[in-house]
Structure 1
Amino acid sequence: MDLDLRKLRYFVAVAEELHFGRAAERLHIAQPVLSRQIRALEHELRAQLFSRDRRTTGLTAAGEQLLADAGPLLAAAEAAQRRVARAALGGPGTFTVGFMPGLIVTGAVREFSGRHQGLSVEVVRTGWDDQTEAIRDGRVDVGYVRMPLDARGLDMCELMTEARVAVLPADHRYAGKPSLGIADLAGEHLLQDPDAVPEWRDVAQELRTDAPAPVPAFRTVEEKLENVAAGRGVVVLPLSTASYYTRPDVTHVELSDIGPNRVCLAWDGSRHDPLVEEFVSVALAHRPPVPHGLPLD
């Protein structure tokens, strides 16, 4: 039995909405049609994917497993469609490199471009929310990524590590200190996903007595820094990112007792593309520069 990608997309919509009506609206199809497609998928997989009653819809254990597997499958299919469409256009071809904020990838890109004069080598800035999805869905061929991340289906090689810093308002009581410990930030409002800074999350849970404030959904470094400058909280960033986005109303202080941020090159582990393999070797020879010390604000 071949897995029908259209039915899989329908399943993901219902699994994310946990409501057949909302999922049908999102997919722009009639609800009875969606229900029939889900029943057909359950029949094909010989597994019940949803537990349903008159009021609620939930995922079964089989549904949870399929949802975990669906993302990489759909992304791989989208990536294949992108690559086929590019190849069908003819021309010299394109190789796309993704990179996270604060990283300088010019050396590797120039070297690789020089080796392939007929190839269009492009760069795309990615963020915490899409650094791996851009690889999986084919928007980029390789990506300079920052840990931690979901590495399922990816191959990676480490390029560098760098210190992490607390980014604070310029008038914060800790501004100007030579360094801080993560416990110093336990009472601060973190303006990012706590899972990105598990050391802060663990210390804050242990030391704080009040309920943590909701985490805002800031998508970019620029948004986070605007809110830091406004005194709404702090963020923890790699040193290169904080240095790249230096501004007069924020400052950063090195964190002395948490591990460094790891920068890796990542690519789709299911692809066997000589260009990807060659870029990996070039990237290892032209690693992003590591910041040394904290610049004066």
Structure 2
Amino acid sequence: MDLKQLRYFVAVAEELHFGRAAARLFISQPALSFDIKKLEGQLDIQLLNRNNKSVSLTNAGQVLLDEARYLLLRAEHAQRLTLRSAQGFAGRLSVGFVNSVLYRGLPQAVKTFERDHPDTEIVLMEMNSADQAQALQRGQIDIGFVHWGKFPDSLCCELILREPFVCCLPASHRLAGRERIDLKQLADDDFILFPRTVSPHYHDLIIARCVAAGFSPRIRHETRLWQTVATMVAYGMGVALVPQTLATTLKDGVHYCAINGDGALSEIHAIRLATLPSAAAQSFLDLFKTLQPS
């Protein structure tokens, strides 16, 4: 008994007519009758009652019909899953990310992608930019979202988003309510920043921005997550420089204002192996890009 015989049997069982079933299968009626008789001979069971006027299922035929439908569906699923796996759309897609990407559409991209590709499970792995580069080379992740773009030739890097830093101030701060300020006005404030080991590139950008304004920031508190930075600012524990995107999401108890003058920008890059990426990784990247502001 093979899948072809099962498909033939299902067609006859559903049509209850050899002529219509043969037309549905695009084969001749004699060939179909021969295959059904062959199947009955292999099973040594009569599956169909037939005479010159009608065709009906025996009890055994009804049982086989239910099982045959299930087996054919499973076979179709296995074929589709195998094809999708070869294209990179089945199984697991591992995505590395820096924390700020959570506020730039990453959760929405994951939900949408898994809805459209139910055979693919996305696994998120938070790590800094350098760790993501190593994870890609070791095959631990399929694609990464990082802050900076200087990587070995074995990695492909694509700029996804560039935006300014803004000041994050407590609502009670003397400058709260201003739309723009000179960064040097915060020279005497305590700053909240993450340790350099968390994101050396971002850490150095923020320090350099302050130095360019004429002062070295007094880092009073360190924390690893942007939401913790904003929460500590809200409690009046200091001020911070954050990517502009965070101003639209982390709002409670804080005030954001633009910084006068030009300066280093916050960037998000996508990195992946320079060899042809899997279709799933490329599709996820394309989706993520549609969620970025124009």
1:264 aligns with 2:269: yes
Counterpart residue number, 1:102: 103
Counterpart residue number, 1:93: 91
Counterpart residue number, 1:250: 254
Q: Is the 8 A contact 1:163 1:259 kept in 2?
A: yes
Q: CA deviation at 1:168?
A: 0.6
Cα distance change of structure 1 residues 279 and 207 upon mapping to structure 2, 3 Å threshold: closer
The residue identity in structure 1 corresponding to 2:104 is: L
Counterpart residue number, 1:187: 188
Q: CA deviation at 1:282?
A: 4.0
1:221 aligns with 2:221: no
Q: CA deviation at 1:132?
A: 4.4
Q: How does 1:127-166 map to 2 (within 5 A)?
A: 130-134=128-132, 136-137=134-135, 140-145=141-146, 147-148=147-148, 151-152=151-152, 154-166=155-167
Q: Is the 8 A contact 1:186 1:203 kept in 2?
A: no
Q: CA deviation at 1:112?
A: 4.3
Larger radius of gyration: 2
Q: Quick one: distance in 1 between partners of 2:122 and 2:158? A: 21
Cα RMSD after superposing both structures: 3.4
Q: Quick one: distance in 1 between partners of 2:102 and 2:185? A: 26
Greater mean deviation of Cα atoms: 103-112 or 224-233: 103-112
Q: Is the 8 A contact 1:182 1:199 kept in 2?
A: no
Q: Is the 8 A contact 2:165 2:265 kept in 1?
A: yes
Q: Is the 8 A contact 2:148 2:268 kept in 1?
A: no
Cα distance change of structure 1 residues 180 and 161 upon mapping to structure 2, 3 Å threshold: same
Alignment deviations for residues 151-193 of structure 1 (CA, whole Å, 9 cap, x no partner): 4564221122223210011011110111112222233222115
1:276 aligns with 2:274: no
Alignment deviations for residues 248-291 of structure 1 (CA, whole Å, 9 cap, x no partner): x211111232243222222244785443344344444x14236x
Cα distance change of structure 1 residues 135 and 228 upon mapping to structure 2, 3 Å threshold: same
The residue identity in structure 2 corresponding to 1:246 is: K
Q: Quick one: distance in 1 between partners of 2:151 and 2:189? A: 30
Q: Quick one: distance in 2 between partners of 1:259 and 1:111? A: 32
Aligned to 1:95, the other structure's residue is in SS state strand
Q: Is the 8 A contact 1:102 1:242 kept in 2?
A: no
The residue identity in structure 2 corresponding to 1:162 is: E
Alignment coverage as a number of residue pairs: 191
TM-score normalised by L of structure 2: 0.53
Q: Quick one: distance in 2 between partners of 1:108 and 1:223? A: 23
Report the structure, 1 or 2, having the larger strand content: 2
**Percent identity over paired residues:** 20
The residue identity in structure 2 corresponding to 1:289 is: P
1:234 aligns with 2:239: yes
Alignment deviations for residues 4-46 of structure 1 (CA, whole Å, 9 cap, x no partner): xxxxxxxxxxxxxxxxxxxxxxxxxxxxxxxxxxxxxxxxxxx
The residue identity in structure 2 corresponding to 1:202 is: V
1:176 aligns with 2:177: yes
Aligned to 1:200, the other structure's residue is in SS state helix
Q: Is the 8 A contact 2:209 2:264 kept in 1?
A: no
Counterpart residue number, 1:203: 212
Aligned to 1:167, the other structure's residue is in SS state strand
Q: Quick one: distance in 2 between partners of 1:103 and 1:271? A: 26
Q: Quick one: distance in 2 between partners of 1:132 and 1:240? A: 23
Aligned to 1:163, the other structure's residue is in SS state strand
Q: Quick one: distance in 1 between partners of 2:118 and 2:235? A: 47
Q: CA deviation at 1:94?
A: 0.7
Q: How does 1:45-64 map to 2 (within 5 A)?
A: none
